[in-house]
Amino acid sequence: MAGLMAGFGNFTHAVVRAIPESLAKDALRMNKFDVDLSKAQREHELYVNVLKNKLGLEVVELPADESLPDCVFVEDAAVVCGDTALITRPGAESRRKETEAMKKALTDLNLNIVEMTDESASLDGGDVLFTGREFFVGLSKRTNQRGAEILADAFKDYAVSTVPVVEGLHLKSFCSMGGPGLIVIGSSEHAQKALKIMQQMSDHRYDKLTVPDDIAANCIYMNLPSKGHVLLHCTPEEFPESAKVFEKLKDHMLIPVSNMEKVKVDGALTCCSVLINKRTNV
């Protein structure tokens, strides 16, 4: 019997979504970059392939919706922890409808669905860092206090602390979990500052792994029955220095995954999937 808060990183399913053609032109982005659509699509295929074939997750692939240029970034539409899925209310108006398909997919997976209906609330999943013991929610351009409150209500077992995100898009634009109790963090000043706040706010101790590039700090950690610690991280081509740091993780099965095109529209590795564990959790 898996107890409460056991099995961090244990996943059986993933929800992903295809890239619409509108992404290249219409997807939101903080900087003006031209996106090579076909390259982005190839990149995404590889990503899904890793989840499905290399890691053996059951992958639910939602079709692209041309009216939702950012829809590939499914992470923002839902926060799943244990049996509960919180359907968010994304901060960007143009992305609100992305949650519809997500809600359906998660309902089909038999999760307890909690919806964020409050019109004053906004929350992007990219601002939610779940450490296995607690949540940190970045208060950013996309996520507000009310959104964080609703998240806290949805996941009552856990402490939910807020962290200001003053630069970058999301909280997870410069950090993520690299293992149980291991926070991967970028080197920028605001990233380091956010880490300190998280450490201060927590009753738990976290180790940190600092990588030179903020966006490289966004990686995907899993703990899979047959594979142990798995880490999907940036490729050496994109971030050579940061990749070297990841290579020091000896206990992890390291899988570099290219994210060159999607990053141009502020998509990080975690953005492109919602990971679910249907096996344990009581």
Interacting residues with another protein (CB under 8 A) = 1, 3-5, 82-84, 112, 133-134, 137, 139, 145, 148-149, 152-153, 155-164, 166, 193, 196-197, 199-203, 205, 281-282
Place of tokens 């996106």: 35
Q: Provide the 10 A C-beta neighbour count for residue 139.
A: 18
| E strand spans, 102-188 | 112-115, 128-130, 134-139, 159-164, 175-179, 182-186
CB of 155 to another protein, least distance (A): 7
Which of 78, 77, 16 is CA-nearest to residue 46?
A: 16
Query: Of the two residues 52 and 146, which places its CB atom closer to another protein in the complex?
Result: 146
266 is in an annotated binding site: no
42 is in an annotated binding site: no
149 is in an annotated binding site: no
Query: Of the two residues 155 and 221, which places its CB atom closer to another protein in the complex?
Result: 155
28 is in an annotated binding site: yes
Query: Of the two residues 82 and 267, which places its CB atom closer to another protein in the complex?
Result: 82
| E strand spans, 11-127 | 13-17, 58-62, 78-81, 84-87, 112-115
CB of 249 to another protein, least distance (A): 22
Output the CA torsion sign for 74, 76, 82, 84. negative
Q: How far apart are CA 137 and CA 201, in angstroms?
A: 12
CB of 198 to another protein, least distance (A): 10
Query: Of the two residues 16 and 148, which places its CB atom closer to another protein in the complex?
Result: 148
Query: Of the two residues 162 and 273, which places its CB atom closer to another protein in the complex?
Result: 162
119 is in an annotated binding site: no
CB of 234 to another protein, least distance (A): 26
Which of 28, 69, 54 is CA-nearest to residue 222?
A: 54
10 Å CB burial of residue 197 (0-12, 13-18, 19+) is middle
- Are 142 and 169 spatial neighbours (Cβ–Cβ below 8 Å)? yes
70 is in an annotated binding site: yes
142 is in an annotated binding site: yes
Q: How far apart are CA 281 and CA 157, in angstroms?
A: 13
CB of 191 to another protein, least distance (A): 13
CB of 217 to another protein, least distance (A): 18
Q: Where are the alpha helices (DSSP H) in the chain?
A: 22-26, 37-49, 98-108, 145-154, 189-201, 240-246
What amino acid positions are annotated as catalytic residues?
170, 271
Torsion of CA 144, 150, 153, 155, to 10 degrees: -80
Q: How far apart are CA 36 and CA 33, in angstroms?
A: 10
- Binding residues are 28, 70, 75-76, 95, 142, 265
Task: List the binding residues for substrate.
Answer: 28, 70, 75-76, 95, 142, 265
